[in-house]
Amino acid sequence: MKKIINNNRLLLYTGIVVLMVFFTVSCSGPEKGLKDIFSGYFYIGTAVNPFQLYEKDTLAKPFIAKHFNSITNENCLKWERVHPSPGVYNFAPADSMVAFGQRNNMFIVGHCLVWHSQTPKWVFEDSLGNPLTRDALLERMKDHIFTVVGRYKGKIGGWDVVNEAVGDDGRMRKSNWSEIIGDDFVQKAFEFAREADPGAELYYNDYNIELPGKREGAVTLLRNLMDNGVKIDGVGIQGHWHLESPALQVIDTSIKIFTDMGLKVLITELDVNVIPEPMGLIGAEISQNFEYQKLLNPYPESLPDSVQQKLAGRYTDLFNTFIKYKEGVGRVTFWGVHDGYSWKNNWPIRGRTTYPLLFDRNYQPKPAYNAVINTVKK
Ligand code: GLA
């Protein structure tokens, strides 16, 4: 009798264990990435580079595919890379980025078609080294846009058509483009891009356009374009920000101003720097100067917990603001996959160690990552 009771108990316990295992396996599914947590809000993107895509960093691709549903090339579609000399195009890196994005159902962003920087000198000169005429430069711009956008028609979903055309004073920036063509180079670039791929979203992208002053310049530029019948889909606020600046209210107001204009807002190059950025020292080499090292490279080994917490708090505020405008914010793209990939390690001073992103150099989530995911109401 006792034996029968024991056997029944054993059966019952075994049943319970089997059921528990079944529920655990069927309910958990694969672990969520950032992009899944923000589905229904906006795309979560990252800038990618060939080091990750050619698999030298073997951890990169699965990690990017897990957390991000949008990618932007960090460099390989900039003019100097994709079209380094007359008639010579180097599409291999962009081809592999696009293939990777397509394989993973990502929204792929091309950056950028017309910019004053990272554009070779020859673009503005004839074969004798004389400045091009307006018509000749327009022809060259059109040819470039048609070739690059045309190649990825239907694959690249959005283009930063013009990057940084507004100067820090809020007026149109003086550049080879504006000097030779005139300020309507912006309009022409959008028209060529629209013609090259009518289905792609087209953006104007710039830094500090959330700051009053420069913002007014950008608003004037965009309004004039729209009044002239140019169809622009969105404005990219780069978002190279700091722990304390710009003030949250400034970012909030700017997102509202741009979305009220009927433009989609994209946060295109987000990072939050935690070390000083002395602009007077661009390109400086500080490794031999001990005093400078301590002052300008304060965390060479690791980020103190107090600063991790500040960074997390800043990201909480930023994402709460993006979520507040989720109807108008289409994408938030981080400028780098993890801290080790950030350009801020080498700008404005080379060879420092900074921590502006959500993941550390070992692909581990930082407190800022948890802060960001906690902004989504479960
Ligand atoms: C600007 C450009 C980016 C990149 C960063 C620095 O924001 O738009 O492409 O060059 O500077 O890496």
CA of 24 to the centre of ligand 1 (A): 45
> What contacts 368, CB < 8 A, 6 or more positions away?
272, 308, 311, 312, 314, 315, 357, 358
Neighbours of 301 (CB within 10 A): 6
Q: How far is C-alpha 221 from the chain's CA centre? A: 22
Query: What distance separates the 2 farthest-apart alpha carbons in the chain?
Result: 106
Task: Please say whether the beta carbons of 281 and 337 come within 8 A.
Answer: no
Task: Evaluate whether 91 touches 151 at the Cβ level (below 8 Å).
Answer: yes
Residue closest via CA to ligand 1's atom 4 equals: 74
The answer to whether 252 and 220 have CB atoms below 8 angstroms apart is no
pLDDT score of 293: 79
Question: What does the pLDDT profile of the chain (378 residues) look like in tens digits?
Answer: 445 445 555 555 544 444 444 444 334 446 899 999 999 999 999 999 999 998 799 999 999 999 999 999 999 999 999 999 999 999 999 999 999 999 999 999 999 999 999 999 999 999 999 999 999 999 999 999 999 999 999 999 999 999 999 999 999 999 999 999 999 999 999 999 999 999 999 999 999 999 999 999 999 999 999 999 999 999 999 999 999 999 999 999 999 999 999 999 999 999 999 999 887 777 777 776 777 778 899 999 999 999 999 999 999 999 999 999 999 999 999 999 999 999 999 999 999 999 999 999 999 999 999 999 999 986
C-alpha 58/C-alpha 54 separation (Å) is: 9
271 lines ligand 1 (CB under 6 A): no
d(CA 357, CA 338): 6
CA dihedral 116, 119, 124, 130 (to 10 degrees): 120
Q: 279: burial class by Cβ within 10 Å (0-12, 13-18, 19+)?
A: exposed
239 closest CA partner among 171, 156, 318, 323: 318
Considering 179, 210, 269, 301, which one is annotated as catalytic?
Answer: 269
Q: SS3 for 281-312, per residue?
A: HCCEECCCCHHHHHHHCCCCCCCCHHHHHHHH
Q: Is the dihedral of CA 36, 37, 42, 44 positive or negative?
A: negative
Does the beta carbon of 315 sit less than 6 angstroms from any atom of ligand 1?
A: no
Architecture of domain 32-377: Alpha-Beta Barrel (3.20)
Q: Is the CB of 238 under 6 A from ligand 1?
A: yes
Would you kindly state where each structural domain of the chain is located, as residue ranges?
1-30, 32-377
pLDDT confidence of residue 142:
99
Closest CA to 343 of 38, 158, 78, 20: 78
pLDDT of residue 287: 72
All residues at 6 or more sequence positions from 241 whose CB lies less than 8 Å from its CB, including other chains: 270, 271, 272, 273, 314, 318
d(CA 253, ligand 1 centre) in Å: 24
Task: For residues 280 and 263, give the distance between their C-alpha atoms in angstroms, rounded to a whole number.
Answer: 35
The reply to whether ligand 1 has any atom less than 6 angstroms from the CB of 208 is no
Taking the C-alpha atoms of residue 284 and residue 286, their distance in angstroms, rounded to an integer, is 6
Backbone angles phi, psi at 220, to 5 degrees: -60, -45
Nearest CA to ligand 1 atom 8: 163
Question: Ligand 1, closest atom to CA 205?
Answer: 8
Active site residue 210: no
CA distance 348 to 301: 20
Half-sphere exposure of 291 (CA within 13 A, CB side): 0
pLDDT at position 286: 72
Residue 269 bears catalytic tag:
yes
pLDDT at residue 25, rounded to an integer = 38
pTM, full prediction: 0.91
* Cα(72)–Cα(243) distance, integer angstroms: 24
58 C-alpha vs ligand 1 centroid, how far in Å? 25
